[in-house]
Structure 1
Amino acid sequence: MRKLAVSRWFGGAVLALLLTGCDAPREQVTVHERSAVPDNLSQWHVVEAIDGKLSLNARVVPYDLNTALFTDYAHKLRTVWMPEGSSARYGEADFDYPVGTIISKTFYYPLGENGTVVRTDDYSGDFAGSGLDLSKVKLIETRLLVKRIDGWQALPYVWNDAQTDAVLEIAGDAKRLQLVNANGSAEAFTYVVPDSNQCAGCHADNHAQKAVRPIGPRARHLNKVFDYRDSGVQDGAQNQLLFWQQVGYLTGMPDLADVPRNVAYEDTSASLEERARSYLDINCGHCHNPSGPADTSGLMLYVAERDRRKLGVCKPPVAAGTGSGDRLFAIVPGSPDDSILNFRVESTDPGAMMPELGRSLAHEEGAELLKEWVASLPGNCS
């Protein structure tokens, strides 16, 4: 329900902007030089607060992921923009994006009562016509990835309390929030906006190259249907990759049947193995891969790994300590309570939790999925 709602809204609203330019912000998207990065998000003209709405500019394309990185239950608005006449070149592992590409991700929450924010998978109340309804949501931050000649630049912008603009915060920020659950109970937590070095650390998923790269907008994450309602494109619904091709944002793609695809972790029509592996891939695989920052751990959680030992089954940790929770193996088949992986995913202790950046809360639904998956694995570590 959540992903259908968000894709329907963004598809219908923004495709209209793409095709007609109606209701677009007043100025065109501006790509600023690395040495002249503006202090305000509005100066890029990608997403802007205009007339009580957070609006997307013309040719700014929204997208969604099959399974997304968990960030303290925040809702996310993801967009990509490329300079006129340019396009990304397809690659199974990475797309080769043109210089000048701007990828944005806005983090926000539905507003509750008395200044609280709401934990919900329902996006339907977030919108008003062609924009996020700023009277119903609390904007937290917008992160930009800008493709330069010498690589990607990561820029964190933090929204002001009036929700009129976001300000560049290279050193990051922290927001104290009260998150209200479905049962009405409130949980206090600190939402941490990463600094630019932390952004670069997570996005440099090739430890040898140390180069910042997009993590989400890759073939296996984008390969899904996005409902572009009222667009005239296949009755409003089309595969995102085919749509990117159609509007000139992607070239060189093979037949869609040959493109890899992760599943949505909450999709119970997929196998438990597929759901768990997709979840681990987006939440952990950018570090736990053969060239990632966590390569020395020997624990490989990216989706292509097939060696069960490298995946963690009966694998002892490289270093013991608080991160192991006094458990002996990353994954003990049939026993999530004895598995380091489950302990770290469920923990909120900064010295033990994984991922170690990007969250202050545990993701209950993701933790439950991984618990169910580990419990289903055959064998033992005797």
Structure 2
Amino acid sequence: MRHCLLLLFLLATTGCGGGSSGGSGASGGLSQRPDNPDCVAFSPLAEVRLTPIAPDLSFNAPTQMIPHPSLADIFYVLEQSGTVYRLNLANNQRSAVVDLADSYTLSRCDECGLLGVAFDPDFAQNGFLYLSFTEGSDRTPTSVVARFETSDNGQRLRRDGAGNLLRTDLLSQRQPFANHNGGHIAFGPDRRLYIGLGDGGSANDPGNRAQDLSTRLGKILTLNADGSPSGNDVSGAVPEIFAYGLRNPWRWSFDRQTGDLWAGDVGENRFEEINRITRGGNYGWRCFEGFEETGNSCENSGPFVEPVSAYGRGDGVSVTGGYVYRGTSIPALQGSYLFADFGSGTLWALAQQQDGSYQRRTLLETGYNVASFGEGRDGELYLVTFQGLFRIDPVLEDTELPEQLSETGCVQASAPWQPADGLIPYTVIEPFWSDGADKTRYFALPDNTTITVDETGDFEFPRGTVLVKNFSLDQRRIETRLYLHNSDGSWSGYSYRWDEAGSDATLVAGGLDVDLGGQVWHYPSAGECTLCHTSAAGNSLGLEVAQLNRSFTYPQTGRTANQLDTYAAIGLFRQPPTSSQRQRTLTRSTDTEAALADRARSYLHTNCSHCHRPGGTTQSNMDLRITTPLGQTGACEVEPRNGDLGQTGAVLLRAGDAVNSLLYLRMVAGQDDRMPPISVNVVDRQGAELIEDWINQLESCN
């Protein structure tokens, strides 16, 4: 049996050194490519698998997928930028129904744009289609729910004689900030239109709007199909309010069998919630997050409805609500509520127990940014991700993960502290901060496969690849992380904890904190891996041209050579990196002989840009890649969206003023607010001082 695991959260994430030339063949670091029969990724034990839908079509930031009310194989897919596509799964072809951006000024903030769609219950007779989107200012957008018309069974939206879309606004709500816009809409079994809106944004709901019954923000609302209020059971509330006390209800659904309303509510910085929403219920925000009080002022609020389930930052950062499974292809999931996390990509099921409680279990580490779920007319479920559309199917076979590192095939079975013969060691120029640990790194390619270098210089690895990273403190082995590129295209990561004797390591189930002689070391859960190993950053992070263009002494041969030249010489590349790709090389942040700006930007590229880049998983629009000019990073004089850490007037980056720059302040903040979000038990003092010095010497961002 072939075994493997996943290099988890910090895995191949940046390295150390300088680097340019080397040789080829015998003059390179390795004489030949090693055979690798054993360290090959497999699909780990899971209850489900993902089947790509329309794999030849690409969607730009898709936000929702719903079926046509009556036509088999026809789905509608929304893009955040404003396009509604009609997708035919029978032939994998699509056509554009409308692009709202052609007619309206849609807001462009991270949580803005086209967010929801619903068909009228009487669509066959009236052709009404409802869309939820944001218009106007990127900083203070307006949330709109509008009714549009079709006369061709949903192929195009109707226009008047002047070419204007036939649009009837049912709801318009000004947002005080750019984030937490909610935007999901759906008709309930009572034939009323339900609308979800977030609390208005910023951090900790500064206006206490989720508890304020005079505003629609932080609520689930109901309207009649004509837009008139349908009434509620909340005394003293505006008539549209169905339920309140929500922070940002991102994706919710009705159980097609029971009519129950299930919602995922995105948390602040500690817990994500799953709620069953009932008429008149108060779900606690900003007084509670998960099951715990927040410490915010909450006089005259309550009683509160507790969530059905909640999870913390060890499992993810932004919940995506799903559906109660009522399909037939996966009988074991019947009646379970499926949901996911946008950041970690973990797919879970909630199943009710005999005592009435709910137990959460992991179905799959998808490795994708899950933006939404879809439910077919047959009850089967789909995932809408920024990496594509997928149907959730039963697994074809189960594979047990090895409990011991020595059984994975990625190390010497009799000496697991030594890599298997098929592994290729590497190092990086600027290493990711890992609470002061020392690291060694390897990758293993399936035989007869090659690496593709994309236009940005990131390595794209073939399926079956395994990345391996060893961690040690004070020369003591403490952890080995394995990162798999699974057979279905997803990535997943696993952590092995070394025993006291250093003789073998055992698989860690979930996250774990251990005191290692006065320093608490965090063994990440599988879900934490993809919080940093984002698909936007190429998943493997440190394995990129800018990091690997340096010399390395290979222990197999004792020869020192440039890593990129060595890989080319032994045939690892489909096409070697171009000369222009090799020109942008990182600088070691501790190299005091190098320019301060190069050192600082290399540090930020390594430790921050995996999330802070286009397509990343944060609410900030920052792009901290080293290839982005400072003035175009979206950091300079930009106000924060998630609080100022108590430093009134602080911005993301203020030239010449580190004390008022959150880019620096986050590095030295308390553990709950510190960046990067993993390996925060020990502050990187040297790195923080570097960023502080760099900001203070900046005269401008130009």
Secondary structure of the residue aligned to 1:251 is coil
User: Which residue does the alignment assign to 1:85?
Assistant: 448
Give the Å deviation of 1:227.
2.6
Cα deviations by residue, 1:282-324 (Å, 9 ceiling, x for unpaired):
1011111121111x212222222225263422222123253x6
Q: Is this contact kept in 2: 1:142–1:157, CA < 8 A? A: yes
Q: Is this contact kept in 1: 2:41–2:463, CA < 8 A? A: no
User: Which residue does the alignment assign to 1:196?
Assistant: 526
User: Which residue does the alignment assign to 1:308?
Assistant: 631
TM-score w.r.t. the length of structure 1 is: 0.75
Q: Distance in 2 between matches of 1:360 and 1:17?
A: 42
Q: Is this contact kept in 2: 1:64–1:222, CA < 8 A? A: yes
Q: Is this contact kept in 2: 1:153–1:212, CA < 8 A? A: no
Give the Å deviation of 1:109.
1.4
Letter in 2 for 1:281: H
Alignment of structure 1 residues 336-347 onto 2, 5 Å: 336-347=658-669
Residues 67-76 or 267-276, more deviating: 267-276
Q: Is this contact kept in 2: 1:18–1:60, CA < 8 A? A: no
The partner residue of 2:436 within 61, 66, 73 is 73
The structure with the greater share of residues assigned to strand is 2
Change (3 A) 1:327 1:140: farther
Give the Å deviation of 1:28.
4.5
Q: Distance in 1 between matches of 2:481 and 2:404?
A: 12
1:169 correspondence with 2:508: yes
Give the Å deviation of 1:191.
1.2
Cα deviations by residue, 1:36-76 (Å, 9 ceiling, x for unpaired):
2212211123234745x721221311111110110110000
Q: Is this contact kept in 1: 2:30–2:554, CA < 8 A? A: no
Q: Distance in 1 between matches of 2:481 and 2:610?
A: 18
- Percent sequence identity over matched residues? 26
Q: Distance in 2 between matches of 1:246 and 1:333?
A: 45
Q: Which runs of 5+ in 2 are unaligned?
A: 1-14, 18-28, 46-398
Q: Is this contact kept in 2: 1:92–1:218, CA < 8 A? A: no
User: Which residue does the alignment assign to 1:376?
Assistant: 697
Change (3 A) 1:203 1:320: same
1:271 correspondence with 2:595: yes
Alignment of structure 1 residues 67-146 onto 2, 5 Å: 67-93=430-456, 94-110=458-474, 137-146=475-484
Larger radius of gyration: 2
Letter in 1 for 2:522: V
Q: Distance in 1 between matches of 2:39 and 2:674?
A: 39
Change (3 A) 1:212 1:168: farther
Give the Å deviation of 1:269.
3.3
Letter in 1 for 2:533: H
Change (3 A) 1:45 1:149: closer
Q: Distance in 2 between matches of 1:364 and 1:49?
A: 39
Give the Å deviation of 1:346.
1.8
Cα deviations by residue, 1:58-116 (Å, 9 ceiling, x for unpaired):
13111111101101100001001112222212224332212211110111112xxxxxx
Q: Distance in 2 between matches of 1:48 and 1:229?
A: 15
1:331 correspondence with 2:653: yes
User: Which residue does the alignment assign to 1:153?
Assistant: 492
Letter in 2 for 1:237: T
- Alpha-carbon RMSD across the aligned residues, in angstroms, is 2.9
Letter in 2 for 1:304: T
Give the Å deviation of 1:205.
4.3
Change (3 A) 1:33 1:258: closer
Q: Distance in 2 between matches of 1:196 and 1:300?
A: 26
Change (3 A) 1:31 1:331: closer
User: Which residue does the alignment assign to 2:545?
Assistant: 219
1:34 correspondence with 2:355: no
Letter in 2 for 1:107: F
Alignment of structure 1 residues 341-360 onto 2, 5 Å: 341-347=663-669, 349-360=670-681
Q: Is this contact kept in 2: 1:317–1:330, CA < 8 A? A: yes
Q: Distance in 2 between matches of 1:57 and 1:251?
A: 24
Give the Å deviation of 1:219.
1.6
Q: Which runs of 5+ in 1 are unaligned?
A: 5-14, 111-136, 179-187
Secondary structure of the residue aligned to 1:297 is coil
User: Which residue does the alignment assign to 2:423?
Assistant: 60
Change (3 A) 1:141 1:18: farther
